[in-house]
Amino acid sequence: MSGWSCVLFDLDGTIADSAAGITSTLAHTLERMGKPVPTPAQLVAFVGPPIMDGFADLGLTEAESHQALALYRAQYQERGAFDSSVYPGIEDALRAIASSGLPIALATSKPERQARRMLDHYGFSHFFTFIGGASEDEVRSEKADVVAYVLENLSRLGVDTSRAVMIGDRVHDVEGAAANGVPTIFADWGYGTEAERAGSIAVAHSPQDLPALVIREQAA
């Protein structure tokens, strides 16, 4: 392999352990709508994929999903967004990769404005050449669309995207990146199952593994 030209990171389950804020906000939303609320363990399955897909999987109609989205976003912005923590070692990994000269971008199905708020809160925004996420209207929310959008903007900024690599913890990351010709290193500390690793080119068992995996390829 000739070395990576840029690195794309997922957010939830890769940089941030944000399940508590997301699942509590989902539960609050469903309660407000008079819908059955799955257990917290069951709700973790909805962390990472596009939120509208999660509502559909819960049996909400399209109209109900849009109502739920408005309720969810209001609650999440007020309380849920910062009910999270960064994974130990992820800041050092980001710093090492950025210091190696590799451009880093965020590619998340979380709304872009909210993702930026979180990175600002953690003090991580300066590591990123571009921060990309879902559009506010959720038209751009599927991971393949987000990755395409991020690659397009990196190219606009003069970044070589010919050897991009994705770091993510769910099958949506693996498949969404692959749809754009981008391989994935699977973040094993996140919310994905062992089966979701399928199709990834490598598994990082902790954030501390990332610099060796990524920078080693860069120097190859």
The CATH number that applies at residue 55 is 1.10.150.240
**Residue 17 is a catalytic residue:** no
Query: Do 97 and 211 touch, CB atoms closer than 8 A?
Result: yes
Rounded mean pLDDT for each run of 10 residues along the chain, 220 residues in total: 85 90 87 88 79 86 91 79 87 97 95 91 97 87 95 98 97 96 97 93 97 70
Rg (CA), the chain: 17
pLDDT at site 42: 83
* Res 219: pLDDT: 42
Q: Are residues 100 and 52 in the same domain?
A: no
Which of 10, 12, 173, 209 does the annotation list as catalytic?
Answer: 10
Give strand pairing partners of 81.
Answer: none
pLDDT score, position 181: 98
Q: Parallel, antiparallel, or unpaired for β 16-17 and 6-9?
A: unpaired
Handedness of CA 108, 131, 211, 1 (dihedral sign): positive
Residue 39 forms part of a structural domain: yes
CA separation for the pair 190, 197 (Å, rounded): 11
Domain count, the chain: 2
Phi/psi at 200 (nearest 5 deg)?
-75, 155
Q: Residue 78: what pLDDT?
A: 74
- Domain carrying residue 51: 19-80
Task: Let me know whether 66 and 98 are in one domain.
Answer: no
Residue appearing with tokens 């994929």: 49
> Are 93 and 201 contained in the same domain?
yes
Asked which of 80, 101, 122 is the last residue of a domain, the reply is 80
Query: What pLDDT shows up at residue 80?
Result: 62
Residue 218 confidence (pLDDT): 46
Tell whether 69 and 133 lie within a shared domain. Answer: no
pLDDT (0 to 100) of residue 108: 95
The answer as to whether 170 is a domain residue is yes
Q: Full-prediction pTM beyond 0.85?
A: no
Residue 216's pLDDT is 63
